[in-house]
Amino acid sequence: MKKVQFDSRLTPYILLLPQLAIVAIFFLWPAAEAVRSSFYLEDPFGFGSTFVGLDNFKDVFADSNYGRVVRFTGVFTFCVTFFSLAIALVLAVKADKVIHGSSAYKTLLMWVYAVAPPVAGLIGIFLFDQHVGPIVKMFKALGWDMRIGVNYNDTGFAMVVVAVWKQIPVNFIFLLSGLQGISKSVQEAAAIDCPSGFRRFWTVTFPLLAPTGFFLLIINITYALFDTFGVIDVLLKTQPGDDPITLVYKVYQDGFRGNDLGGSSAQSVILMVVVFVLTVIQFRLIERRVHYN
């Protein structure tokens, strides 16, 4: 590695300054502010705040509703990540094999990527509308009388479906390019070595796709935890009531609707810790298992 010498010891720091400033202003400062306010009880009308120590955290954990939200967030994140990756993988494998009109096919599959989350939520509302929604009608014909916005599980189901639908194109694009990055002759060697196409997929194609897969796993978990806010908000028509919500939505709900800034900050601090732990685990796994070349 070539070592660059600067005239002044300050020069490298000045060059780094813009990036550091962005990190400080948009991440460190708000994070510090959240940690600070998680120890205070904020006056709802902004007239002052009282230091309450860990009381906000105690309240959060004592709240039975919080446990319910945690459970739903866990299930929701798992379902969204699993199904959006699995469906995208099936589509990518099939699209990779299409020879005629493949670009039209791929473009159509990527289309949804361009849809903004609230719009996706809106489309979801139409699809799951109590009276005219085709999905509701379909399940009704199959004997499942869905009540979106009323029944806890039905609403959760609709959220998962819309969130998965929104995320499939991203996964599809990455998985398809991952598939196309696998050496053709390696796949041909496998075609000669392994009579079963199914087995060939799991023993050669899938392991070689793992680097892309692990990357997408992080992206998808983050997506399910945080970026589904818009979808959820629109589906709930901003009136959650007894409906399922995720942790991030609860932070918003308690902080900005309930005016409990302290409790909301405590929750976001907990979320920060969760994300931090998750990131460390995933990078450890990736470094250990997914490096081929």
Partner 1 sequence: MATITLDTVRKVYGGAVEAVKGVSIDIADGEFIVLVGPSGCGKSTLLRMVAGLEDITTGEIKIGDKVVNNVDPANRDIAMVFQNYALYPHMTVYNNLAYGLKNRGMAKDEIDRRVKEAARILEIGDYLDRKPRALSGGQRQRVAMGRAIVREPAAFLFDEPLSNLDAKLRVQMRVEIKRLQKSLKTTSVYVTHDQLEAMTLADRLVVLNGGNIEQIGAPIEVYDKPASTFVASFIGSPAMNLLKVKTDASGLAFETGAGLSGANPHGRDRYIAGVRPEHLDVVPAGSPEAALTLKAKVNVLEPVGAESYLYAECGDGGPEIVIRVESHAHFEPGQEIVLSAKAKDVHFFDADTGRRIDG
Q: Which residues sit at the interface with partner 1, rule CB under 8 A?
A: 183, 185-186, 188-196, 199, 203-204, 207-208, 210, 292-293
Q: Give the shortest CB-93-to-partner 1 separation in angstroms.
A: 18
Q: Give the shortest CB-184-to-partner 1 separation in angstroms.
A: 9
**CA–CA separation, 277 vs 293, rounded Å?**
28
Q: Collapse the DSSP code of 49 into the 3-class scheme (helix H, G, I; strand E, B; otherwise coil) and give the result.
A: strand
Q: Closer CB to partner 1, residue 103 or residue 183?
A: 183
The phi and psi torsions of 42 (rounded to 5 degrees) equal -90, 135
Q: Closer CB to partner 1, residue 193 or residue 242?
A: 193
Q: Closer CB to partner 1, residue 127 or residue 208?
A: 208
Q: Give the shortest CB-207-to-partner 1 separation in angstroms.
A: 5
Q: Give the shortest CB-211-to-partner 1 separation in angstroms.
A: 10
In order of 10, 80, 167, the CA distances from 117 in angstroms are: 44, 14, 10
**Which ranges of the chain would DSSP assign to H, the alpha helix?**
11-23, 29-37, 55-62, 64-97, 102-110, 117-127, 134-141, 152-180, 184-193, 197-200, 206-222, 229-235, 247-252, 261-289
Q: Give the shortest CB-81-to-partner 1 separation in angstroms.
A: 23
The one-letter code for the residue type at 128 is F
Q: Give the shortest CB-199-to-partner 1 separation in angstroms.
A: 6
Q: Closer CB to partner 1, residue 151 or residue 203?
A: 203
Q: Closer CB to partner 1, residue 45 or residue 292?
A: 292
Contact indicator for 225, 74 with CB cutoff of 8 Å: no
- Helix 152-180 and helix 64-97, axial crossing angle in degrees, nearest 10: 40
Using the structure block, give the residue that is written with the tokens 């696998």: 182
Q: Closer CB to partner 1, residue 26 or residue 202?
A: 202
247: number of Cβ within 10 Å: 21
Q: Give the shortest CB-291-to-partner 1 separation in angstroms.
A: 9
**CA–CA separation, 35 vs 276, rounded Å?**
15
Q: Collapse the DSSP code of 119 into the 3-class scheme (helix H, G, I; strand E, B; otherwise coil) and give the result.
A: helix
Q: Closer CB to partner 1, residue 32 or residue 191?
A: 191
